[in-house]
Amino acid sequence: MKILVIGSGGREHALVWKLSRSPDATQLWCAPGNAGIGAERLAKNGQLVECVNIGAEDLPALAAFARERRVDLTVVGPDNPLALGIVDLFKQQGLRIWGPNRQAAQFESSKAFSQRFMEQYGIPTAKSGTFKDVGPAVEFARSLGGRCAVKADGLALGKGVLLCETFTEAERAIEEVLVKKAFGSAGATVVIQELLEGTEISLHALCDGKTAKLFPTSQDHKRALDGDRGLNTGGMGTYSPTPFLTESALAETGRRILEPWLRGCAAEGIDFRGILYPGIMLTKTGPKVLEFNARFGDPETQVYLTRLESDLIELFMASCEGTLDRIELKWNPMPSVCVVMASGGYPGSYPKGKVIRGLEDAARLENTKVFHAGTARSGGQAVTQGGRVLGVTAWGKDLRAARDAAYAAVGRIQFEGAQFRRDIGSKALG
Ligand code: AMP
């Protein structure tokens, strides 16, 4: 089977790596890919994965490539092409593609849509209001005592959420989004949620329009610095599973979210084929959904796919074809930990082109996989090219062993200015 993966981050490297191990993969391209992706080889025939210089948002060029090369399956990593309707375009052209269509991708591309949906179908979430005008938004924030999350409705590169502790902060946040247009047109509408307290986890479910198969739990580390200090980032590390939900509590949480969600999708004619990724706060009064994403998390994918034993092509085909009810997802019980190594300065501005050393050394370690994110090849060497550079991932007999292995691999890798958190997994390990 000939496969095209769209995207260039650590998530896409993990997708490519896992797909490349399938006995059904005969040729694999990634648009635009990165240095690590271009070094992967297919298990079946030893062929190299080929990076194609087409941007993830250049939908017509991607479709033309898929037609010309007779791609059998296209896999979409990031949220933007989904929100732009890449799935609708490919399907119109008779091309098989895995991911939610534009209507279904609204669970991520519009927080107002998701919030209305959750309230209508009884999915546990934060108390909230949706506003276009400052006056009523400010009144609602006042009714919450100022403690609230002010969220731009649309996609804002993961930055459109302002957490407020006081009424003054809330007023300022509403002004930033609605009046100063800090997030452009993504902030023409704001969703304001009460501030929830508790432990945050990520859930993922693979869906085929009728069935949703829940993954194990994972936990992201969004802030740049140890102890959850510093600025919000795309994610500085993750691990799976977490100890915060027992198997039965996870199943119950899944039921309380996914059953009404599937009912709502059926009622509204939403055909969701892809990954639904709810961000969850485990509060004193039970798990609540903070937001939905409509694709794999990054770096959640890196820990999930190093634990997944099932064939990923088989899962994606079942998700495309509506036959997930016949499939069981198999997981390796060994925990997995991913530590993100980022460029100095990230999530602010950072230099590029720094030579990355020690990758071969780290690659020799057992139970370890170094996924590339913002990397490129220059003069035969791997160099930094983005904020998040590598997702150093390892697994082991328990979480401690997995974490120690991941940090041992981090210790072998150097580039100028490299920064990473030293406490990935510590909430679970104490
Ligand atoms: P979101 O993109 O909606 O997940 O928000 C980004 C981050 O803001 C989340 O990962 C949470 O850490 C935090 N957050 C969002 N909504 C809330 C809320 N209602 N209460 C507390 N924290 C929140």
Whether residue 291 contacts residue 220, with contact meaning beta carbons closer than 8 Å, is answered with no
- How many whole angstroms from 167 Cα to the centroid of ligand 1? 18
Give the pLDDT of residue 430: 81
pLDDT in tens, the chain (430 residues): 999 999 999 999 999 999 999 999 999 999 999 999 999 999 999 999 999 999 999 999 999 999 999 999 999 999 999 999 999 999 999 999 999 999 999 999 999 999 999 999 999 999 999 999 999 999 999 999 999 999 999 988 777 899 999 999 999 999 999 999 999 999 999 999 999 999 999 999 999 999 999 999 999 999 999 999 999 899 999 999 999 999 999 999 999 999 999 999 999 999 999 999 999 999 999 999 999 999 999 999 999 999 999 999 999 999 999 999 999 999 999 999 999 999 999 999 999 999 999 999 999 999 999 999 999 999 999 999 999 999 999 999 999 999 999 999 999 999 999 999 999 999 999 8
Return the closest-CA partner of residue 301 out of 222, 374, 204: 204
Complete DSSP assignment for 338-358: EEEEE-TTTTS-----PBPB-
Task: Please report the pLDDT score of residue 159 as a whole number.
Answer: 79
**CB-facing half-sphere around the CA of 375: CA atoms within 13 A:** 31
Ligand 1 mean position to 125 CA, how many Å? 11
Let me know: does 69 contact 29? Beta carbons within 8 Å.
Answer: yes
Residue written as tokens 């694999």? 28
pLDDT for position 158? 73
Beta strands in 15-117 (DSSP E): 27-32, 50-51, 73-76, 97-98
Contact yes or no for 412/366 (Cβ under 8 A) = no
Strands 161-164, 148-152: pairing is antiparallel
Strand-pairing partners, residue 355, are 383
Residue with token string 């279904």: 104
Residues with CB under 6 A from ligand 1: 126, 149, 151, 161, 163, 193, 195-196, 200, 222, 279, 290-291
Q: What sign does the dihedral 415-420-423-428 (CA atoms) show?
A: negative
Centroid of ligand 1 to alpha carbon of 45 (angstroms): 44
In a 3-state reduction of DSSP, which class is residue 393? strand
| Local structure of 420: helix, strand or coil | coil
